[in-house]
Structure 1
């Protein structure tokens, strides 16, 4: 280990762990190219490096260490040498960063973009500390968590508070629980998904570092390979986790993310491509009390032994991951593999959904085999669903069932001339599908698309769409629901709750509803399009209009637009 003498400003090497003296360590953000003082600078005969912006930071760190009675400091910019060194040597130092911060007597966090003032305190939202760049970087997460004692300083080295004193504020900024901040031992007790969430919105200068900065947090050692790319580095990290952990929260990625923002790679499989997929998993906790592992790695992928419900008509397995947020469990929909009935796969747009524990009574524990990486296959025939809504509103796709229904999500397009926003979804040409869209207020609406006859060259088909609000309350309205409205009752756990709205024979009986039928030519023609238009607010609620038409090079017949309230 290389340390900087705080008084002489000379570098000293300590090859053996038992020779390493007590030291302070610095956590900071790097400046621009050429701003930081390097090992080469400190070894030069000219003092020109003292003109660099980073020199004041080193002087301030050394001065604070001497004030605290500490003779040595460790600063990454001048104690780690990445240039002209083998990747293996660099990898050894990267692997040791958690250990360096863990062993330090104290860690000084220097916030270069924070200027303390008597007008604002650290707990004020107007304080610069809430906007500090330090809280956006990937490597500062292990630097915050590994040391027991962490002190924060502003740009002028004015003391702001300790990690323990500022724990509630830091929790609000980072999402890392105050109890974890106060006790480094709590880090290992958090779920895999929770720990992934800590870096989900962070950035790193080198793309692979978003995976490497997690090594110490998970206690993993793996070769460092700069140049492999962000995705490969993160996939490798998860492969190591599969061997060292049996925490099923590793598979909860994608929870609460918009479907258009999860994955574009059709062969993604069971592992996430980036920590950002765990952004909303900070409260996920495993709840299984079983001593047996919930999954194991097999020659072809993974075998789960978890409560499961299989819907044979759609080839869907609902896998209870036995991870929860409060009283709600995360259930992952899997689709039966198109190549073998013995395996299931996670579809590109499949993601875990919250299901109340009371709805899991029909699930039974059984072996479920999954592919780790989905096999390549051709995309089936598609139907385009165009969702249009006013610019002043916001809608996004929240869920799709069956999980293999969604093939792709097109880009969001603003059409100023029409004053609306449009997004296209591409669905498999299935007999039916159910979509759940969510507005900016968090309200969900179900869209059921059903085909009443099989597509052929000689016959026309009829598609029907129904849209109903899914209320926040997680209970049915009084009275039995109509058979027509709830013929897909087994789907409702996927959408968290049953709709309060009931309808019969196309007549609205409560809430918001759109119903419309139209004829479409059979297979073998151009791409079919379903257009669903959500209109502007009327009478203090959103009025929905379903305009569903086949667009085969013809203009839509506006007279066929059916409006209901």
Structure 2
């Protein structure tokens, strides 16, 4: 650990003594003060403090370093630690070690000086007629704003641990006037940060639920995305390597490390603050998400989760595997969803001030035969309790480790039955959990050379090798039960022998398709390619000799997109038979062809099959 000598402003390095040394009174690291602040312009770096001092002294940030040392020296401390200049940030190994040790460094300090560069306490008298005075209002907002704001220090990610860890903390304004000790303003600080007094008074953070601790970071920001995870390492007693460049994955890694040391299921008690889509009659157009939150912001509404946490005896710890997070939940099937794949999973963490209430989340099975699930309906945290015969909440609650016959969702008063304890896998990375795609099946007696897809829309979602169109992952999102959505179109060239005229005949037609019934029933529509000049259509890309015909060729290439855009998707009405069979048939009399779209299980996966049949073949199938 490097410390700055407060008199010479030179760096010295110290190493913690062994346990024997400490018992003998030989402390390896001397008493030191520590600085907490927000970074500003021209901060003094390790290279600055070890380099040419005549240049360093003219940098804007040097004043803060000098005044910090002056304050520490006045308080009798020979050393101070300042993050900007005591860490060589050009060394990734040193930076990683420092960030993993930082919480303990703040905790081990004799005093923490919290420097609020945007606060001036003299504004107490000069602006008292405009606003009620507050020790942490910024100077500018007191002077110029109709609604004063708190110091930036309270909204930064790194300052969370700097508030919690030190045993002794003193606030200073921009001119190094003392604002007071943390205990002098502890109620005001709790109101600003939403942090419990237990934590602010130095209580053991391990006794607090994970969701409660995460909620403290929900309204904080860091310059780099990864730092939103790294700044929380000490809050959760976690050590892990730093991987700048991994982005939001850092926060997922942090939660995976937490899973290794805790079975506190409040880690899963997060939700999106804005309802992205409120389902109408139980649409299943859900966005998929893993069990772990992508950002601490989603714990903003989790401060009602029980403050104090105790281990649940007999419940296995969640484990991260290549199948996802293996976890044990009390679960029941949500019968309101026609797919039969949506479940409610109970979290073992009390909510609110009434005993016996537990939250639940929605999970969706990836397929009927899969043991893997994903989280859906992320804007919802349901609240369950058991009721007595008089319809009152039973204060003794229920045991989420044991099967339950019936439980009631408190807000909707909906009764859910047949709860069982299950061990499942929940995928975190759902990028490969693709929804069903559309597979074009070549009908008999046509061969692959007889029937060619010459255009597809959207082009980038079509695989010509397998004749498969894979829609975007979120294509079901927001799709109501009575709404139809178009997803793709194919321009198909059909070559066949017409016995009536005794020669080959070439026909072009357009096949447009999509989904309805919440995305679980496919539909299709076949029509002649009216206005399409097949003779001028080129399947190969344009070469140099063809550039004169560029605009004419462009018009031909855009033919299918134009047909797709103009197609009236509201043409389809939902019938009971169509929803039950998950199948749609469209007959094109002009072409004497029939298209059938159906949702099928192929090799264990859901697929929308698109069949093209001759009229005779279709009629033969119906009669058989």
What TM-score results when the alignment is normalised by the length of structure 1? 0.64
Q: State the match for 1:252 in structure 2.
A: 269
Structure 2 residue 286 is matched with structure 1 residue 297: no
Tell me how far 1:371 sits from its aligned partner.
2.2
Specify the SS of the correspondent of 1:242. Answer: helix
1:145 paired residue among 161, 164, 167: 164
Spell out, residue by residue over 1:295-351, the C-alpha distance to the aligned partner (whole angstroms, 9 max, x if none): 532643344433322235533221110223213421111112226244432127464
Output the CA distance in 1 between the equivalents of 2:523 and 2:6: 81
Residue 382 (structure 2) pairs with residue 330 (structure 1): no
Whether 1:283 and 2:295 are equivalent positions in the alignment is no
Match of 1:6 in 2: 6
Cα distance in 2, alignment partners of residues 62 and 166 from structure 1: 25
**1:360-375 mapped onto 2 (5 Å cutoff):** 360=407, 362=417, 364-373=419-428, 374=430
**Mapping of 1:120-131 within 5 angstroms?**
121-122=133-134, 130-131=149-150
Shift of 1:57: 1.3
The alignment partner of 1:108 has SS state of strand
Aligned residues: 404
Helix, strand or coil: the match of 1:369? strand
Match of 1:309 in 2: 332
Match of 1:201 in 2: 219
| Paired residues for 1:96-111 under 5 Å | 96-111=101-116
CA contact (8 A) 1:287 1:322 kept: no
Structure 2 partner of 1:41 = 48
CA distance in structure 1 between the aligned counterparts of 2:265 and 2:377, rounded to whole angstroms: 19
For 2:310 and 2:49, the matched residues in 1 are separated by: 54
1:260 to 1:79, Cα distance in 2 relative to 1, 3 A: farther
* Alpha-carbon shift at residue 378 of structure 1 (Å): 3.9
Cα contact 1:151–1:159 (8 A) shared by 2: yes
Give deviations 1:205-255, integer Å, cap 9, x for gaps.
2221111111111111111111222x1111111111111111101111216
Summarize the Cα distance change of 1:109–1:123 in structure 2 as closer, same or farther, 3 Å threshold. closer
Is 2:277–2:478's contact at 8 Å kept on the other side of the alignment? no
On the 8 A contact 1:4/1:73 being kept in 2, the answer is: yes
1:345 matches 2:357: no
Equivalent residues of 1:343, 1:368 under 8 A apart: no
Instruction: Tell me the CA shift for residue 380 of structure 1.
Output: 5.6
* Structure 2: segments with no counterpart, 5+ residues: 18-26, 143-147, 279-284, 388-392, 394-406, 409-416, 439-472, 485-515, 526-569, 575-583, 587-624
Inter-partner Cα distance in structure 2 for 1:457 and 1:16: 72
Contact 1:130 1:173 in 2 (8 A): no
Q: 1:132 aligns with which of 134, 151, 165?
A: 151
Shift in Å at residue 16 of structure 1?
3.6
For residues 189 and 293 of structure 2, what CA distance do their matches in structure 1 show?
A: 27
Distance 1:79 1:260, change over 3 A: farther
**Counterpart in the other structure of 2:61:** 54
Distance 1:333 1:154, change over 3 A: same
Q: Matched residues in 2 for 1:215 and 1:248: separation?
A: 19
Aligned to 1:490: none
Counterpart for residue 440 of structure 1: none
Q: Is the 8 A contact 1:248 1:295 kept in 2?
A: no
Shift of 1:176: 0.9
Structure 2 equivalent of residue 320 of structure 1? 346
Q: Deviations over 1:190-218 (max 9, x none)?
A: 11112112222222122211111111111
Of 240, 251, 254, 1:234 maps to 251
Query: What's 2:567 paired with?
Result: none
TM-aligned CA distance change 1:94 to 1:450, over 3 Å? closer
Structure 1 pair 182–338 and aligned structure 2 pair: CA distance change class (3 A): same
Tell me: CA distance 1:25–1:290, structure 2 relative to 1, closer, same or farther (3 Å). Answer: closer
Q: Distance in 1 between matches of 2:296 and 2:363?
A: 21
The yes-or-no answer on 1:24 pairing with 2:33 is: yes
What's the counterpart of residue 290 of structure 2? 269
**Aligned pair in 2 of structure 1 residues 295, 431: CA closer, same or farther (>3 Å)?**
farther
Which of the residues 555, 558, 573 maps onto 1:521? 573
Alpha carbons of structure 1 residues 409 and 214: separation in structure 2 relative to 1, 3 Å: farther
Offset, 1:105: 0.5
State the distance in 2 between where 1:40 and 1:147 align.
Answer: 27
Query: Which of the residues 81, 84, 87 maps onto 1:74?
Result: 81
2:330–2:420 CA contact under 8 A, matched in 1: yes
* Helix, strand or coil at the partner of 1:19: coil
Q: Contact conserved, 1:248 with 1:294, CA < 8 A, in 2?
A: no
Alpha carbons of structure 1 residues 140 and 42: separation in structure 2 relative to 1, 3 Å: same
* Other structure's SS at 1:3 match: strand
Of residues 479, 482, 487 in structure 2, which corresponds to 1:427?
A: 479
Change (3 A) 1:524 1:217: farther
Contact 2:328 2:424 in 1 (8 A): no
Q: Provide the rounded CA distance (Å) in 2 between the counterparts of 1:95 and 1:290.
A: 28
Whether contact under 8 Å (1:109, 1:153) holds in the other structure is: yes
Tell which structure's C-alpha radius of gyration is larger: 2
Once the two structures are TM-superposed, the CA of residue 30 in structure 1 deviates from its matched residue by: 0.7
Q: Distance in 2 between matches of 1:75 and 1:304?
A: 42
